[in-house]
Each structure stands twice: as C-alpha cells, then as structure tokens.
C-alpha cells in the first residue's frame, strides 16, 4: 500500500477511535481512569551520532541557512514551515523527490547538490548557488547523514524492544555495526539509472506521447496539462498534505525542465507523492517528454541564474 493511502486509512481509524472516545466520555460512569501516558522510551539522538568532517561542516552551514524551514534536526518543522505549501521536506525520512535513481531509492550526491544549488522553482526551496562549493558539498553530506541517522534510530529501537537492550549499551556496542549496515544499504540504492541517447522528436513521437498521456496522465494533470484532472483535487503526499499535479503550461518544473530532467522524473517517479514512476521502454518515456513539452503556452522565463536556467539544460 502506498504511504498516502496508508495515511488516509490511518486517519480514518483515528477519527473513528476519537469518536468512540468522545462518545465514551459522555457516559457518566465510574469506569477506572486510564493510566497516565508514559514518557516514550529513550531512543537514539543525533548527539549519539559521530559526524565525519564533511557532515560536521555541513551541520554548521545547515544551522545558518536551512533550519528556519527544515527544522533544527531536519524534521521539516522549522518556524516558517507551517505557512509553506509544499511544506519543507522532512529530511530524516528518506523520501526524496528529485532523483536520478530508481523509484523509492535514495538520491545520489549529484542529485542533492543540484537541488541545493538550483533550488526548486515553484516551491519556497531557495537556490544556494552563492555558497562556496565546499559548503554545498558539506550540506549534501549532512542531508545524507540525517537520512542515515533516522534509519539507524529505527534499527536501534528494534534492538531496544526485541532484545531488551538499553540505549547506552546499543550506542556503545552496536552503533558502529548498525551504521555500517545502513550506510552500505544507502550507497547501494543511490545508483543513477541509465539515460540513453534521446531519439529525435517527430510528429509520430509527439502523437505517441499524446495517446499515452490521455490514458495515463490526464486524470491528474488535466486534458490541457494545467493540472486540473478529475483526480487532481483529492491528492495527498506521504505526510497527508494536499498536493497538486504540475501545471505543464507554465514550463516551470521543480528540478529542471531540460528533456533529460523530465525523462528522469518519469523514469524515477517522485518518492512520497502520488506521481508514480512510469513504466515502458525509454522510447515510450521520451515520447511522453516530447508531448509534455508541447503543452507549454507561457513564454519561457529568462534564465534565472547561470547553471540552473529555467527551460535550459541543467545536466
């Protein structure tokens, strides 16, 4: 089951449970009062996680530039977060949308560097191109550290709950091996998919893309591509926040609008959102890219800054 569906089912359950609790509260009875809620058991904290030198520098740069939105520990709960849509990413959960890696996998360092350097047009995620290369590289290390830490925290909780070990013992005796395992798994997944040569755009390729679009994309993205398909109003992301399909008429894409960027978005999907990875041969995907590019009706904006032009090549 996809995370958004699971969320919806869970919130349905919570609602029913809440109604039952409210109903129960109205019946005057001598039922015993439930025990006070216990404090959550101790878990791994970021302070338990030794930072290598890149991530250490990255942490400092993150405190200076990112916490207002992404929160002190990367949970996406910074002071500005509540007012933003889309919300700043919870960087701990390991859901990254704009990747060159297979569906559900983690991004490569180059993917993260691209997001940090160019920002995500159409969202409040700014471009940090003015930071020195070394600082942006260190930020990539720290973002990956936050994702690795969260995976390790869950592993540590399994040891705590299943084997009855205390956190100090887990930190002292098991953390290095958990860390090795988590980092190896992450590195294994962060492998770019192959992108072959783009075939030439022809009337036939556009037509092929149009036919598939009508069948598989228009329900969300709308017949003319403005993002108003019949399913578009009920979409939720993995945090149960409302999410809208992209409007293709503007030509503004979050992570680059070069054909290669769009190809990657289709091939990899956007983790944690209703936008699925699209199946089919590379030629099928290129045909969809050819068609989507015909939907633009607004004049291309002037390039926003060197290296990250809107409508230009970003890779």
Burial, 63: exposed, middle or buried (Cβ in 10 Å; 0-12, 13-18, 19+)? exposed
Question: CA-CA distance, 157 to 170, in Å (whole number)?
Answer: 9
The nearer residue to ligand HEC, 57 or 270, going by C-beta atoms, is 270
CB of 31 to ligand HEC, least distance (A): 45
Does 65 contact ligand HEC by CB under 6 A? yes
For 28, the token pair is 């005057």
Count, residues in the chain:
315
Residue reference for tokens 């890696």: 101
List the x/- string, 275-304, binding to ligand HEC by CB under 6 A.
x--x---------x---x------------
Other CB atoms within 10 Å distance of the CB of residue 178: 21
Q: Report, in Å, the least distance between residue 285 CB and ligand HEC.
A: 8
Taking CB under 6 A as the criterion, the residue among 59, 92, 93, 97 binding ligand HEC is 97
125 binds ligand HEC (CB under 6 A): yes
CB of 186 to ligand HEC, least distance (A): 14
Residue 131: CB minimum distance to ligand HEC, A: 7
Question: Is 96 among the residues that bind ligand HEC (CB under 6 A)?
Answer: yes
CA dihedral 229, 231, 234, 238 (to 10 degrees): -100
**Is the separation of the CB atoms in 263 and 286 below 8 Å?**
yes
The answer to whether 138 contacts ligand HEC (rule: CB under 6 A) is no
Residue 89 near ligand HEC by CB under 6 A:
yes
The Cα 54–Cα 255 span in angstroms is 25
Closest CA to 179 of 14, 48, 90, 285: 48
Binding residues vs ligand HEC (CB under 6 A) = 62, 65-66, 68-70, 80, 84, 86, 88-89, 91, 96-98, 107, 112, 115-116, 120, 123-126, 128, 139, 143, 216-217, 219-221, 231, 235, 243, 245-246, 253-255, 262, 265-266, 270, 273-275, 278, 288, 292
């Amino acid at each position: 089951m996809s995370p958004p569906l699971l969320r919806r089912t869970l919130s349905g359950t919570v609602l029913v449970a809440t109604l039952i609790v409210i109903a129960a509260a109205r019946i005057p009875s001598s039922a015993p009062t439930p025990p006070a809620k216990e404090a959550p058991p101790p878990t791994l904290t970021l302070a338990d996680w030794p930072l290598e030198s890149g991530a250490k520098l990255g942490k400092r740069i993150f405190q200076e530039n990112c916490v207002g939105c992404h929160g002190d520990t990367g949970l996406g709960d910074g002071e500005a977060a509540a007012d933003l849509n889309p919300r700043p990413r919870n960087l701990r959960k390991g859901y990254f949308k704009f990747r060159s890696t297979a569906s559900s996998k983690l991004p490569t360092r180059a993917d993260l560097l691209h997001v940090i350097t160019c920002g995500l047009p159409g969202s409040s995620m700014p471009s940090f191109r003015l930071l020195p290369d070394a600082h942006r590289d260190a930020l990539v290390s720290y973002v990956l550290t936050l994702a690795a830490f969260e995976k390790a925290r869950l592993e540590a909780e399994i040891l705590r709950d299943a084997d009855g070990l205390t956190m100090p013992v887990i930190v002292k005796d098991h953390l290095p091996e958990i860390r090795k395992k988590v980092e190896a798994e992450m590195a294994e997944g962060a492998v770019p998919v192959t992108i072959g040569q783009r075939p030439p755009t022809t009337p036939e390729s556009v037509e092929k893309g149009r036919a598939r679009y009508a069948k598989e994309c228009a329900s969300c993205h709308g017949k003319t591509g403005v993002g108003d398909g019949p399913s578009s109003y009920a979409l939720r992301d993995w945090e149960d926040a409302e999410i809208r399909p992209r409007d293709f008429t503007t030509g503004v894409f979050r992570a680059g609008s070069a054909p290669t960027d769009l190809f990657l978005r289709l091939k990899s999907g956007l983790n944690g959102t209703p936008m699925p990875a699209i199946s089919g041969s590379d030629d099928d995907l290129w045909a969809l890219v050819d068609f989507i590019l015909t939907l633009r009706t607004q004049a291309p904006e002037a390039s926003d800054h060197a290296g990250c032009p809107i409508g230009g090549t970003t890779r």
